[in-house]
Amino acid sequence: MTKSIYIVGTDTDIGKTLITASIIYLLRKKGYNTCYYKAALSGAEVQGENLIPGDTRFVCELSGIKGKYEDLTGYIYKTAVSPLLASKIENNPIDIEVIKEKYEKLKERYDYIICEGSGGIICPITTLKDRIYNLDDLIKDMNMDVILVASAELGTINHTVLTVEYLKNAGIDIKGIIINKYENTQLCNDNINMIKAMTGIDILGVMPVIQEKEDGFHEKLKQLSEEVFDERKIISCMK
C-alpha cells in the first residue's frame, strides 16, 4: 500500500520545493519507488503555448522522476496568486475530485508519494459548499500527516509556533519540522532551540543556505540531501 506525507510551509517561498526535491532525490537514490505530487501550482512559466510548473520541473530534474508534469500537478496556473484566485482569474475552477483522482493514479505506480503544499497552511484552494476550502481541508480529506518546513531566519519562531498550533487545532498530525535557510549564527541556532522547546516536535533536518544560481547547484543540493536527511526517519513519518 502506498505511503505518503504532505510537505507544508510556514509561509510562501520558505523553501518547500527545495526540501521536497531533496527528500525525493534521497529516497529514490536509496531505492524507494517515490514520486512527487502538487495539488495546485500558481506562477507557472509560459513556454510557447505551454504552461510549465516550475516546482514540478525542479523536483523532476533533481530526483530523476520521468513523466508528464500535468500528471504530477493537479492544476497549473500562470498567475502567481493563491490557487483559488488564480482559478477565478483564469476561469479554470478547481475540482477537488480531480486532484484526488490524479493522486490515486500515482498510487497505482509508486510506493511512496511526497505531496507539496501551496503557500502556507491557510492557502485558499477553492470554494466548497459556500465556504473557502483551504490547504488544511485538502490534507484532512486526503488523510495525510505533515512535515513542516520552517526558516531559520528572523521571525521564524512566531511563524512556526503559530503554524504548529493551527495544524494541531485542525487535527493534523505533525511528524516533524525541517529547518531551511540555516547559517551558523547565534540567531539561527537560538531560533532552532526555541522552536524545539516551544513545539516539542522533532527536527528532522537542518538545510544550510544554498544559492540556486551558484555553479554546481544541483550537485551540491544532492550532496546536502544525503548529509542532512535520514531516509529511515522520513519513511517512518509516512502513512
**Structural domains in the chain plus CATH codes:** 3-237 (3.40.50.300)
* Active site annotation includes 239: no
Q: What is the pLDDT of residue 213?
A: 74
Long-range contacts of 209-212 (CB under 8 A, 24+ apart): 209/181, 209/182, 209/183, 210/18
CA distance 127 to 131: 5
Tell whether residue 55 is among the known ligand binding residues: yes
Q: What is the pLDDT of residue 129?
A: 86
Residues of the chain with pLDDT under 50: none
Predicted structure pTM score? 0.96
Tell whether residue 116 is among the known ligand binding residues: yes
Tell whether residue 155 is among the known ligand binding residues: no
Q: What is the pLDDT of residue 211?
A: 84
Tell whether residue 118 is among the known ligand binding residues: yes
pLDDT tens per residue, range 41-70: 999 999 998 999 999 999 999 999 998 999
Q: What is the pLDDT of residue 231?
A: 98
Q: What is the pLDDT of residue 12?
A: 92
Tell whether residue 17 is among the known ligand binding residues: yes
Q: What is the pLDDT of residue 215?
A: 83
- Other Cβ atoms less than 10 A from the Cβ of 212: the count is 9
For residue 146, give Cα distances in angstroms to 28, 121, 230: 20, 10, 17
Q: Write the CB contacts of 16 (distance below 8 Å, at least 6 apart in sequence).
A: 7, 8, 9, 116, 117, 149
Tell whether residue 137 is among the known ligand binding residues: no
Of 29, 38, 100, 239, the active-site residue reads: 38
